[in-house]
Amino acid sequence: MRNNVGVLLNDGFDQFPSVKHYDTGKSTNLSGVAVVDVNGDKRPDIIVTAQNTNSVSVFLNSGGGQFSNKKPYNILSGVGVMCPQVADVNGDTRPDIIVANSGDASIGISFNSGNGKFTKWTTFSTGKGSQPKSVSVADVNGDNKPDLIVGNFKTSNVGVLLNAGNGKFLNQKIYSTGLNSQPLSVFVADMNCDNKPDIIVANSNKKNIGIFFNFGNGTFQRQTTYETGGSTKPWSVVVGNVNDDNKPDIIFSDIAKHEIVILLRS
């Protein structure tokens, strides 16, 4: 198994003729990647999570499609870190790194201290034995502060941690995704066009996609489910308008059939 990040540069004709690899270290077992400018130089940088080494590595963009050697940030209490998100969660205008810390039952945040450097990790509990597999960052209660939404695989629920300001979060409020549903992926988008962000979840063990509609104050209705069909295993979910009708559609990967599936909104 290769332990690297690959970058394919566009040649200007919508072609990607070659790939350049950047080493992430021996047996890192990469579990996610994000691309965001973290040091304010207007060039996108690369952030990757490594499950085996319980670390996040940052590759700063040095220009011309080249990247620096990795700068690792180890999570001492971490086990199986994944799903990196990058957003300013403490209001200092610098993007921070947020990860699902699966084995430690927590969300980890490394705050950006400037120039693409990050602080030691701060963790927020997702509940004993929860085994979070994914995290999304969005303002769900309209206070202009980004909140954390997490899919807790083992306890079969979605957790919402509201932002209390200054990089602190309230204890999570949980919403059941169904007995032994094993949610693997969460995404936040306004699904019913009421200008309130809803939670969409891939329930890997129940053959459905769940939606929690937002009441508007950071609390959510009970889950509404949409069946994905027999022998399916929804793995990862996103939302986008794929048919230009100005309505949000659901796209998910089905690991059982090795397919990408689109659910068009009627």
Judge whether residue 1 has pLDDT over 60. no
**Burial annotation 22-57 (CB, 10 A radius, 16+ → b, else e):** bebeeebebbbebeeebbeeeeebbbbbbbbbbbbb
What pLDDT digit, counting tens, does each position of 75-97 carry? 766 568 889 999 999 999 999 99
> What distance lies between CA 110 and its chain's CA centroid?
15
Asked, for residue 16, whether it belongs to a domain, the answer is no
73 within some domain:
no
57-80 average pLDDT score? 86
Residue 115 lies in a domain: yes
Average pLDDT over every residue of 217-225: 96
**Model confidence over 127-146: pLDDT tens digits?**
999 999 999 999 999 999 99
User: Looking at the predicted structure, is the pLDDT value of residue 2 above 90?
Assistant: no
Residue 146: CATH number of its domain: 2.130.10.130
The pLDDT of residue 11 is 87
Provide the pLDDT for residue 266: 84
Is it the case that residue 73 has pLDDT exceeding 80? Answer: yes
Count of structural domains, the chain: 1
Q: Which letter does DSSP use for residue 214 in this model?
A: B
Greater model confidence, 157 or 102 = 157
Does 255 reside within a domain?
yes
Q: Is residue 219 part of a domain?
A: yes
Q: What is the DSSP letter of 220?
A: B
65 part of a folded domain: no
Phi, psi of 13, rounded to the nearest 5 degrees: -120, 30
pLDDT, the chain, mean: 93
Confidence of residue 54 (pLDDT cuts 50, 70, 90): confident
What is the C-alpha separation between 132 and 220, in angstroms, rounded? Answer: 19
Domain that holds residue 118: 78-263
Please report whether residue 43 resides in a domain.
no
